[in-house]
Amino acid sequence: MKKKSSSVSTGRRQFLKSILPAGTFLCFGCSGLLSAPKKDKFLEDSGMSYMEVFAFTFHNYYIPIMKKLAEEEGKERFMEKLKEAVSAAAAENMKNMAKSFPNRDLAMMAIFTKTNPLFQRAMSYELVKETKNSFEIKVSRCLWAETFRQANAAELGYITICHADYPMTAAFNPKIKLIRSKTLMQGHDCCNHRFVMEDEN
């Protein structure tokens, strides 16, 4: 009975909040709302979809800037320097992330890949095979690839996003090797990521 009474009370409270002005509702004893800390506006939900975020970040800013720099510096030289910078940054980023991981074995790599919220929302992929010594996924759709290819910047996208997978894997664990022959960024039908323990392959 108490549970039902609590449910009715909660429902009544929600109903009153929906139909009465905020000031009126405060008169019913909800003074605690007055002392609630104001949320930092920078932490508020932007209301943007992942596709909109990618377009805003890459299509509107990053890609045009990189194209301009490539034009001014010479494309081949610029891409080589960018690849070096991306590799170093990707490795450092992974080292920092991995500090919180309980270990850095292949099983942990698989867990990180399968539970990463960004990967889940920006890619469509399936688990192809998982054994003690290997872990393989097939990516059929990738928001990074779609964003860069739509901007006619697939080469830039490959260096920035796809190539970074190699130094990140090595930084996670030097014994784990990434084997991949296809990427959506390069126009293939999928990305075939396969992670293998080198000393046990």
Which whole-number Å values give the CA distances from 101 to 27, 95, 108, 134, in the listed order? Answer: 49, 10, 8, 19
CB 173 within 8 A of CB 109: yes
Q: Residue 85: inside a domain, yes or no?
A: yes
DSSP class of residue 101?
Answer: S
Q: DSSP characters for 110-132?
A: HHHHHH-HHHHHHEEEEEEEE-S
Q: Residue 127: inside a domain, yes or no?
A: yes
**Residue in the block written with tokens 């860069």:** 148
Q: Give pLDDT tens digits for 114-159.
A: 888 888 999 999 999 999 899 999 999 999 999 999 999 999 999 9
Least confident range from 33-37, 56-60, 66-70, 177-181: namely 33-37
How many angstroms separate the CA atoms of 22 and 33, rounded?
10
Q: Residue 105: inside a domain, yes or no?
A: yes
Print the domain residue range for 124: 50-200
Q: Residue 65: inside a domain, yes or no?
A: yes
CATH number of the domain to which 158 belongs: 3.30.1380
Q: Residue 13: inside a domain, yes or no?
A: no
Q: Residue 42: inside a domain, yes or no?
A: no
Q: pLDDT band for position 198 (50/70/90)?
A: confident
CB 148 within 8 A of CB 157: yes
Q: Residue 54: inside a domain, yes or no?
A: yes
Q: pLDDT band for position 87 (50/70/90)?
A: very high
Q: Residue 169: inside a domain, yes or no?
A: yes
State how many domains the chain has: 1
Phi-psi sector, 29: left (phi>0), alpha (psi -120 to 50), beta: left
Q: pLDDT band for position 163 (50/70/90)?
A: very high
- CB count within 10 Å of CB 41 equals 6
